[in-house]
Amino acid sequence: MNGKAGDLRCPIGQAEELFAALKRLKKEVVFVRYPQETSHGLSRSGPPDLRIDRLNRICEWLDKWCRSS
């Protein structure tokens, strides 16, 4: 799951609470916190290295959980 400290739509505390709840339920979860300046628009206007990181993480998740065996 991604958390962005500068996201005004979804406060970082909500992402942290969801992460903690999933951990308590013993679910496999990864928490990635992007810098405050990335805000909600990371997919469109964030720093290129962080946009690439985000896309790679999405692709890895899709490969792991959605790929047919």
Domain count, the chain: 1
In 3D, which of 45, 43, 33, 44 has the Cα closest to residue 6?
33
Global pTM? Answer: 0.75
Residue 35's domain comprises 2-66
pLDDT per residue as tens digits for the range 10-56: 788 898 999 999 999 999 999 999 887 777 778 888 899 999 999 99
CB 7 within 8 A of CB 37: no
